[in-house]
Structure 1
Amino acid sequence: MAAGAPRIFVSHLAGVAVFDPNGDQVGRVRDLVVMLRVGRKPPRLLGLVVELATRRRIFLPMTRITGVQSGQVITTGVLNVRRFEQRPTERLVFGELLDRRVTLVETGEEVTVLDVSVHQLPARRDWEIDKVFVRKGGRGAFRRRRGETLTVEWSAVTGFSLEEHGQGAESLLATFEQLRPVDLANVLHHLSAKRRIEVAAALDDDRLADVLEQLPEDDQIEILGKLKEERAADVLEAMDPDDAADLLGELPEEDKERLLALMQPADAADMRRLMSYEEHTAGGLMTTEPIVLRPDATVADALARVRNPDLSPALAAQVYVCRPPDETPTGKYLGTVHFQRLLREPPYALVSSIVDTDLQPLGPEAALPVVAQFFAAYDMVAGPVVDEAGSLLGAVTVDDVLDHMLPADWRETELQLEANGETADAGDAEGAGKGVAPHGA
């Protein structure tokens, strides 16, 4: 970026693609690393935290950046691919500075940090924070009643170096609003424990449920344990039943029973039923909320159910035809109708006329290898689980099978980088936050 270029507000850098000189994307910006300085000197911007395609986070020094423009970051092409680890003297802009309560030096008034801007110093390669965008008024007020916003010099505010309890998360969440649950989960996982709890508390129940499903077990338990019990029960109800049952199964018996007592009776009954099966069986893997239709339902009815945006692609791939009741455990299971078959039939056709009765369902006690063989043999992404009485208990999806076949810590394990034009510079000593060598190096 040329000297004298205009300032950049960091919210505009969230998720921005990072390219090498050849135009190949190497990752996306997930945070900025700064070092606070004594007095009222603006913090120095050390570099960016970049998430590679493998979800590994690396440190990219500002000295390795040749351009920040048009919604993209251009690098010199030489990357140190060692895992980023934050040093004690460093601060993460998105993770730690946004949403802080700081004080205006001139008036002593408390304000909330909404954004900060960075700029490159003239005739130098150094970058620093120069402006702070703040809002007056208390945190949590309705938007129409919030105080005025203003942009001030860094030296006009104080309090960034103090530890803050109960820091908000509104600006941070706005920055990552468009992230998929798995990517937002990755953001939470890399925050400090304090910030992770604050951000999780600020998410609505459905969004938090989606994110919890993508987090490692330790993070799930930590977050759930910090929520008020009533809200923890609401979030568990919003999760997929099989994921919620897995999480409940990891809690102490007393905590589990308290949460089950706070849940809706029908949801609690589903949880107890799922937890009654061995973990690595079809019953332990299944969800209790597949699409269930009566024999007299039409293709139009089935397609309307499949269109539900809250359904995963695997669950939307087929519907199960059963006699009443329509919720699991159902009456007699009659068979499966695949999504592609629904697309080939007229809307008025009955699902009972196109049901696949040749597909053998899984029993609830079927072991994980048997379930995996079922998916491989029939090229399926979901399969029905039926008990000895012929009632549909639920459905197993391929993602649940993969979750249990991969190592227990697979969500935390960083994949080996493949040779894709990135050059590891093991001797890089520029900036800070260079990280440590990956495990097994």
Structure 2
Amino acid sequence: MSSAPNKIFIARLLGLDVFDPMGDRLGRLRDVVVLKRNFGSAASVSSSLPSIGKEPVVVGIVIEVLGKKRIFVPMTRITSIDSTQVISTGLVNLRRFEQRGSEALVVAELFDRRVKMTDGSEEAIIEDVAMEQRRNGDWIISELFVSRGNGHTGLMRRRKESMIIDWHEAIVSTDHEPQAATSFVANHEDTQAADLADALHEMNDKRMIEIAQELQDERLADVMQELPEDDQVEILSNLDVERAAQVLEEMEPDDAADLLNELTDNQREELLKLMEPEEADDVRRLLEYEEGTAGSLMNPVPIILPPEATVAEALAHIRQEEISPAMAAAVLVARPPLETPTGKYLGMVHMQQLLRVPPSVQVGTLLDSSIEPVSDMSSMEEISRILATYDLTLLPVVNDANRLVGAITIDDVLDAILPEDWRTYDDGTPIRKVGRRYE
């Protein structure tokens, strides 16, 4: 195996492509397997996982192949490993990976675990783990990247402290199951939903579900909207059915409809019945459209105002926290009723125009009549062409009676036309990634 680098942090390996000697891609790295050893006097501290004592030996990696199946590749088959790719040699056994009692998974079982320091100082949380290659070619777990603090002492909030420690300087506690998920959520409370989604996607299913179940409904909805459909279905299927319905209510209607389309008819109907009627009705209308049409992609609840509403009212709606930046690019004006499908659609007013005129001006006098709405049956090609031609981020969608039924945004279109693996670079590394400050 290549001797450079001889130490690497495992978080950097997650999601990397694994290649055979001919350059063909085998799959994507999802975890690292270590062999439990005789941990001496510390065995009584944690009988089920590695702790103080001899460093655990890395025996192989878990990679995800087509069909989301995870297989095991022993380290003896790895010829090169660094922060950009992993190369293996020889035949690979495609049998599904089954963890043995003598093995531990680093990402699933060590990341975000609470540890005690051997010097008696404050407990810390494992955020990353380093593996190092010895002269004889074996790889061992040598260091831990941990954090502590980020809490309160009296009235003072303590700053988070991160550090790299030797494996021998920590003792792993046994209270992993509830504590790890809670700690992970607390440590990532300020992380963007898209970045947190990337972190969850790199976890195995068990770990991903643990974290998802710990998130608040609104936060979980935001994160799920950034996940691939397979992960969304996996999480939703492992939630209590009533909570699953509540999470769907918190999602954007078009995202909820896309997710429900991945379920069976019985599952879909059960969840819709548990949702609030108003939220369920919005989703049901989207489910009626053929996939790939404007109606299937639109958000049925854009900002809609009557023509006599003032600029001040329009800006107040735009400032609402739940309104996405793309949807806040314009307000749509229609005759009552203002719930979709509305009365006659009149036009749109761009946010920039709202900022240029006095607050008392009525939005009906500011309509941009040059932008025609698209039909709810319009194709993706037509929608993309209009957005690109007029440099728009939002398009109103009407039915055949010229009643406003929703709006489609540029991010809706991009999600639909980009390839499924758009979240990763060509080398397999995530475009967005939760940073780990250990450099």
Among residues 97, 122, 134, which one is paired with 2:110 in the alignment? Answer: 97
Change in 2 beyond 3 A, CA 1:238/1:117: closer
Q: Provide the aligned length of Structure 1 versus Structure 2.
A: 336
Q: Residue in 2 aligned with 1:276? A: 288
Q: Report which structure shows greater RCO (CA 8 Å, sep ≥6).
A: 1
The DSSP-based 3-state class of the residue aligned with 2:374 is coil
How far apart in 1 are the matches of 2:181 and 2:372? 49
Q: Residue in 2 aligned with 1:434? A: none
- The 5 Å alignment of 1:2-401 reads 35=34, 37-40=36-39, 41=53, 43=55, 80-82=83-85, 91-92=105-106, 95-97=108-110, 114-115=125-126, 128-129=142-143, 168-401=180-413
Query: For residue 97 of structure 1, what is the amino acid of its counterpart?
Result: L
Unmatched segments (≥5 aa) in structure 2: 1-8, 13-29, 40-52, 59-80, 89-96, 118-122, 155-166, 430-439
Q: How far is the alpha carbon of 1:329 from its aligned partner?
A: 1.6
Change in 2 beyond 3 A, CA 1:157/1:238: same
Q: How far is the alpha carbon of 1:170 from its aligned partner?
A: 1.1
Q: How far is the alpha carbon of 1:313 from its aligned partner?
A: 1.3
How far apart in 1 are the matches of 2:85 and 2:286? 41
Q: How far is the alpha carbon of 1:209 from its aligned partner?
A: 0.7
The DSSP-based 3-state class of the residue aligned with 2:348 is strand
Q: TM-score, normalised by structure 2?
A: 0.65
How far apart in 1 are the matches of 2:412 and 2:314? 24
8 Å contact kept, 2:306–2:336 = yes
Per-residue CA distance 1:36-87 (angstroms, 9 max, x = gap): 65222154698xxxxxxxxxxxxxxxxxxxxxxxxxxxxxxx9641169999
| Identical counterparts, % of pairs | 44
Q: Residue in 1 aligned with 2:92? A: none
Q: How far is the alpha carbon of 1:310 from its aligned partner?
A: 2.0
Q: How far is the alpha carbon of 1:177 from its aligned partner?
A: 2.6
The DSSP-based 3-state class of the residue aligned with 1:169 is helix
Query: For residue 330 of structure 1, what is the amino acid of its counterpart?
Result: T
Unmatched segments (≥5 aa) in structure 1: 1-9, 15-30, 47-77, 105-111, 135-142, 145-152, 419-441
Q: Residue in 2 aligned with 1:410? A: 421
Q: TM-score, normalised by structure 1?
A: 0.65
How far apart in 2 are the matches of 1:235 and 1:305? 24
Change in 2 beyond 3 A, CA 1:344/1:194: same
The DSSP-based 3-state class of the residue aligned with 2:302 is coil
Q: How far is the alpha carbon of 1:165 from its aligned partner?
A: 6.3
8 Å contact kept, 1:98–1:113 = no
Q: How far is the alpha carbon of 1:321 from its aligned partner?
A: 0.8
Query: For residue 323 of structure 2, what is the amino acid of its counterpart?
Result: L
Q: How far is the alpha carbon of 1:322 from its aligned partner?
A: 1.2
Per-residue CA distance 1:320-369 (angstroms, 9 max, x = gap): 01122222221111110001111111111110111112211001111111
Change in 2 beyond 3 A, CA 1:239/1:118: closer
How far apart in 2 are the matches of 1:120 and 1:131? 11
How far apart in 1 are the matches of 2:293 and 2:109? 42
Q: Residue in 2 aligned with 1:138? A: none
How far apart in 2 are the matches of 1:237 and 1:313? 20
Query: For residue 38 of structure 2, what is the amino acid of its counterpart?
Result: G
The DSSP-based 3-state class of the residue aligned with 1:279 is coil
Change in 2 beyond 3 A, CA 1:358/1:158: closer
